Amino acid sequence: MLRAARRYPPAVRVLLLVNATASSVTARKRVMIRKLLAARHEVEVAETSRRGHATRLARAAANDGFDVVVVLAGDGTLNETADGLLHTDTALAPLPGGSTNVYARTLGFPTDAIDATNELLRSLQRGSTKRIGVGRANRRPFLFNTGIGFDAAVIRRVERYGELKRHLSHPLHVAAAFEVFFRKEGSRTRLDIDLDTDELIEGARFAIVSKTDPYTFLGRLPLRIAPDAGLDRPLALTAFRALDAITLLGGAASAMRSGRFLAHRRGIDHRYDLHRLLVRSPEPFAYQVDGDDVGDTQQLDIEYEPDALTVVLP
């Protein structure tokens, strides 16, 4: 008896965008992923070579009618790619190629790149995509968060370790947090935050604006500072009016567990479903988007942009 052939949806055009210098990207892994994707779909490969290159490659792919841009890289390259795909019909699909891979893990993809590719193939077979909103910080888009002050100063210090970050990212972030705290980097920041609810938060020491939950991961542990943030909601603000050891250590421990300490600690303000907020300071302050140090500013205009990007979901 003849068995009916299994039917697959039509092949889609895929651009596999690779950052070869990302911490967990290898030549062997890249070849395996391309073969897996090419077995069912029309695949082209492009490699990023400099800062901002992923944005231009993604924008060109969208203009050329690619259905999906698959990113084998870390969150920084993923952020750049999203920038190039905003308000297009081309979907974004993350594969874990960095040290932390916050967005891929937040969406629910496996932490192993090959397993994630197989999951992605199943998603493409089902047509599992979702149109979502993104955040913007001084027009720079972010997928999961932007950090202001202390948080950004930690990321800036980690970047100074150069090649060590590729192999020891999580321990370096912990070490950098202690260095920044004891050397007072970022701790002199005083922020006034105007909310679209007509509220004003004065004298914040640092702040994190979240688009998704968790904020980041420490190894296998998710750090949750805004548990009610999510793909289907606007922005969440966590503003710290105190910068002391109890707040930082207790907050980190709480973020890895129930989050009750952060939720009830005096001096920590939580706001959800914000569409716009304006951050000002008399002195320049550091800020980051999706784990990428952007520089210093004295004013940061943060807004929610709905219906901006299509992502592939597992």
Total of domains in the chain: 2
C-alpha span between 238 and 199 (Å, rounded)? 14
- Whether 5 maps to a domain, the answer reads no
Q: pLDDT for 276-292, tens place per residue?
A: 999 999 999 999 999 99
pLDDT score of 254: 46
Q: Domain check: are 80 and 196 in the same one?
A: no
Q: Domain check: are 104 and 176 in the same one?
A: no
Alpha-carbon distances, residue 134 vs 95, 129, 148, 178, 307 (angstroms)? 19, 15, 18, 31, 8
The CATH number of residue 54's host domain is 3.40.50.10330
pLDDT > 90: what percent of the chain? 66
Q: Domain check: are 158 and 295 in the same one?
A: yes
Asked if the model's pLDDT at residue 37 lies above 70, the reply is: yes
Q: Do the Cβ atoms of 206 and 148 come closer than 8 Å?
A: yes
Per-residue pLDDT averaged across 175-189, rounded? Answer: 66
pLDDT score of 181: 62
Q: Per-residue confidence at 299, pLDDT binned at 50, 70, 90?
A: very high
Q: Please, how many CA atoms are within 13 Å of residue 269, restricted to the half-sphere of its CB?
A: 19
pLDDT score of 185: 61
Q: Which of 63, 92, 127 is the last residue of a domain?
A: 127
Q: Domain check: are 121 and 225 in the same one?
A: no
Q: Per-residue confidence at 296, pLDDT binned at 50, 70, 90?
A: very high
- Whether 136 maps to a domain, the answer reads no
Q: Domain check: are 278 and 175 in the same one?
A: yes
Q: Which of 94, 127, 160 is the last residue of a domain?
A: 127
Q: Domain check: are 177 and 259 in the same one?
A: yes
Residue-range definition of the domain harbouring residue 81 = 13-127
Cβ density class 36-60: b for 16+ within 10 Å, e for less? bbeeebebebbbbeeeebbbebbbe
Q: Domain check: are 215 and 285 in the same one?
A: yes
Per-residue pLDDT averaged across 6-14, rounded? Answer: 72
Per-residue pLDDT averaged across 71-78, rounded? Answer: 96
Asked if the model's pLDDT at residue 271 lies above 70, the reply is: yes
Q: Please, how many CA atoms are within 13 Å of residue 167, restricted to the half-sphere of its CB?
A: 2
Per-residue pLDDT averaged across 35-64, rounded? Answer: 96
Closest CA to 111 of 124, 94, 123: 94
Q: Per-residue confidence at 99, pLDDT binned at 50, 70, 90?
A: confident
Asked if the model's pLDDT at residue 275 lies above 90, the reply is: yes
The number of residues in the chain equals 314
Asked if the model's pLDDT at residue 230 lies above 80, the reply is: yes
pLDDT score of 170: 66
pLDDT score of 184: 64
- Whether 176 maps to a domain, the answer reads yes
Q: Per-residue confidence at 295, pLDDT binned at 50, 70, 90?
A: very high
Q: Which tops the pLDDT comparison, 91 or 160?
A: 91
Residues forming a β-bridge with 280: 192, 299
pLDDT score of 6: 41
Q: Domain check: are 271 and 145 in the same one?
A: yes
Q: Domain check: are 21 and 47 in the same one?
A: yes
Per-residue pLDDT averaged across 114-141, rounded? Answer: 97
At residue 120, φ and ψ (nearest 5 deg) are -60, -40
pLDDT score of 21: 85
Q: Domain check: are 181 and 287 in the same one?
A: yes
Asked if the model's pLDDT at residue 253 lies above 60, the reply is: no
Q: Domain check: are 28 and 120 in the same one?
A: yes
DSSP string for residues in the chain: -PPPPPP-PPP-EEEEEE-TTSTT--HHHHHHHHHHHHTTSEEEEEE--STTHHHHHHHHHHHTT-SEEEEEE-HHHHHHHHHHHTTSS-EEEEEE-SSS-HHHHHHT--SSHHHHHHHHHHHHHHT-EEEEEEEEETTEEESSEEEESHHHHHHHHHHTTTTHHHHHHHHHHHHHHHHHHHTTTTTT--EEEEETTS-EEEEESEEEEESSS-SEEETTEEE-S-TT--TTS-EEEEEES--SHHHHHHHHHHHTTT-HHHHH-TTEEEEEEESEEEEEEEEEEEEEETTEEEEEEEEEEEEEEEEEEEEE--
Q: Which of 100, 127, 154 is the last residue of a domain?
A: 127
Q: Domain check: are 85 and 151 in the same one?
A: no
- Whether 183 maps to a domain, the answer reads yes
pLDDT score of 79: 97
